[in-house]
Amino acid sequence: MKIVMLGAPGAGKGTQAIKIADKYGIPHVSTGDIFRANIKGGTELGKKAKSYIDKGELVPDEVTIGMLLDRIAEEDCKDGYVLDGFPRTIPQAESLTKALAEKGEKLDYAIDIEVPDDNIVKRMSGRRACPKCGATYHIVYAAPKVPNVCDNCGSELIIRSDDKPETVQDRLSVYHKQTEPLIAYYKEEGILRTVDGTQDLPKVFEDVVKILG
Ligand code: ADP
Ligand code: AMP
């Protein structure tokens, strides 16, 4: 099963992707997580990505596409994956389609989680992330058992530096300009499915499972 998650930043792609990965036994591949791990590790890739991420801009396609294609060529991805945060531009989507077609493969579903912008801003202000394992929480909607401590690994939670309200606005406008056209792209491919992301977390997942079967 090869799945792409679509939706604005903060729509709940990561939250749902982790649950999909768990239920269907496929890896969760988040380009944002890969960039953050590289920033933390001080790699060349991390240095390149950081300035874009901090401004709420997209990391250039030349960097991102190769990185993602390398990741999904790894052994654990041979039976499928759920992509979270990729593709974010039409050239990224086209490169993925082409790379898969070269191996006689294709994506199964593009799941678009729809959430209006004003709702997104509320979600992002309450998001907390685990810097170690990548788990995501919300101070009201998905609170950890112990305040500010990751349920999975016990690390102290952080506020992502790109979740500042002014950066969130920039990320939303980047989304509408560069990423939203992917909805039409995957509709044309016949694999687009839409979920109402304003519902509570378990209900969104229920709808996703109805799609995936
Ligand atoms: P994305 O990966 O699309 O950027 P996240 O999965 O990190 O988004 O979700 C953004 C924030 O919204 C997180 O704090 C998360 O806990 C919260 N969240 C996700 N889904 C829902 C939902 N259905 N209802 C309320 N809050 C949600
Ligand atoms: P995310 O964790 O998906 O919210 O991504 C955080 C940031 O990483 C984004 O705002 C971008 O700056 C960068 N990023 C993640 N995925 C991509 C991508 N596919 N293309 C370009 N930039 C990306």
Task: With H, G, I as helix, E, B as strand and everything else as coil, classify residue 165.
Answer: helix
Residues 6+ apart with CB under 8 A from 7: 13, 112, 113, 114, 115, 197
Q: Which residue of 138, 148, 168 sits with most ligand 1 atoms within 8 Å of its CB, as the best mutation to test the pocket?
A: 138
Is the separation of the CB atoms in 139 and 128 below 8 Å? yes
Q: Are strands 127-129 and 28-30 parallel, antiparallel or unpaired?
A: unpaired
Is the separation of the CB atoms in 160 and 129 below 8 Å? yes
Q: What is the pTM for the complete model shown?
A: 0.97
Helix (H) or strand (E) holding 29: strand 28-30
Is the separation of the CB atoms in 29 and 82 below 8 Å? yes
Digit-by-digit pLDDT tens for the chain (213 residues) are: 999 999 999 999 999 999 999 999 999 999 999 999 999 999 999 999 999 999 999 999 999 999 999 999 999 999 999 999 999 999 999 999 999 999 999 999 999 999 999 999 989 999 999 998 889 999 999 999 999 999 999 999 999 989 988 899 999 999 999 999 999 999 999 999 999 999 999 999 999 999 999
Mind telling me the catalytic residues? 13, 88, 127, 160, 171
For ligand 1, the distance from its centroid to the CA atom of residue 155, given in whole angstroms, is: 19
